[in-house]
Copies of this chain bind each other. A is one copy, B any other.
Amino acid sequence: MPLDLGAKGSCHIGGNVATNAGGLRLLRYGSLRGTVLGLEVVLADGSALDCLTSLRKDNTGYDLKQLFIGSEGTLGVITAVSILCPQKPKAVNVAFLGCQSFAKVLETFTTCRAMLGEILSAYEFMDEKCMELVETHLKLSSPVADSPFYVLIETSGSNSTHDEEKLNNFLERAMASGLVTDGTVATDTKKIKVLWSLRERITEALTHDGYVYKYDISLPVGKLYDLVTDMRARLGRSAKNVVGYGHLGDGNLHLNITAESYSHSLLDAIEPFVYEWTARCSGSISAEHGLGFKKRHFIQYSKPHEAVLLMQQFKAMLDPKGILNPYKTLPSSPERRMC
């Protein structure tokens, strides 16, 4: 599968496509918009729309299936998916590294893109707060010395000798130039799983830390961590923890804020600040989680008014009675408000 997510144990493929999940390996295999070849969708009137082809190329008319990918079930219900699967890699390696600053995390990414090239399949980062949380709440232990930032790099390739040589060359360069101060490498499945769990179980650790305010933001990669720093300074002691982690290779930050319990005043300190900050950097207020019910009224921070109007026209055309996943994704249309 060209898609892998922390939620792989519970999610369904129809839901993945409906939310346009990006996940851990978008960096390598690209978005579902490129890898979904066909869909079958049940429309609001109960009819089935058959766009279920398995061809890699088809330019006959408009690509209707794209409208349903990422529409969160508001335009139709996805009932079958045809997806392009890459060759299963013969060799997988994971490196878990410590970096002394976010600038070094970025420079490590540039170096590793150049040196690992086509075998790079994930570049994830987490800050020291995330590590503290997985250590405290899940009793996991860090395999490298305490660092302000951690990076998980995965390679997937067809030749283990070549892949290990590329990875070793990169690690030598990264250590020698001081980009990375400590690190460990795994080539066997069990150790790979242990390293991935440090990154994948952050969400779970957060749920043990109290009430969680979750933000899933796309930003130009250079500014990615500034939002965490600014938010931490802004909230001070009113938050328990402000943590940042995510798919750095895709410019996708998961910003999470915990508190002992839900507080309206803390929410007011976070929003709309977080959305305004993101909009100033031309980022997206929802990189991969969608807008759902809670964020639909903030769409204007990432999309111009004309685009939202056009989306509402599509919704009205495909679901005139508003029966498909109602009150989600889009703000209510002006017409409906008037009723």
Contact = CB atoms under 8 A, between A and B. Distances in A.
Given A157-B117, A307-B51, A59 B70 contact: yes
A55 B284 contact: yes
Interface stretch (A61-69, A92-100, A139-147): A61-69
A71 interface: yes
Interface in A19-35: 19-20, 22, 26, 30-31, 33-35
Given A33-B34, A62-B67, A252 B118 contact: no
Contacts of A198: none
A306 B63 CA distance: 13
Bin chain A's interface residue count: 35 or more
A64 B311 contact: yes
A153 interface: no
B118 A158 contact: yes
A252 B60 CA distance: 14
Nearest to A51: B307
A218 B60 CA distance: 11
A55 B317 contact: no
19 contacts: A33-B63, A49-B310, A53-B284, A57-B251, A57-B287, A57-B288, A58-B286, A59-B284, A59-B288, A59-B290, A59-B291, A60-B299, A61-B303, A61-B329, A62-B75, A117-B159, A118-B158, A158-B166, A317-B317
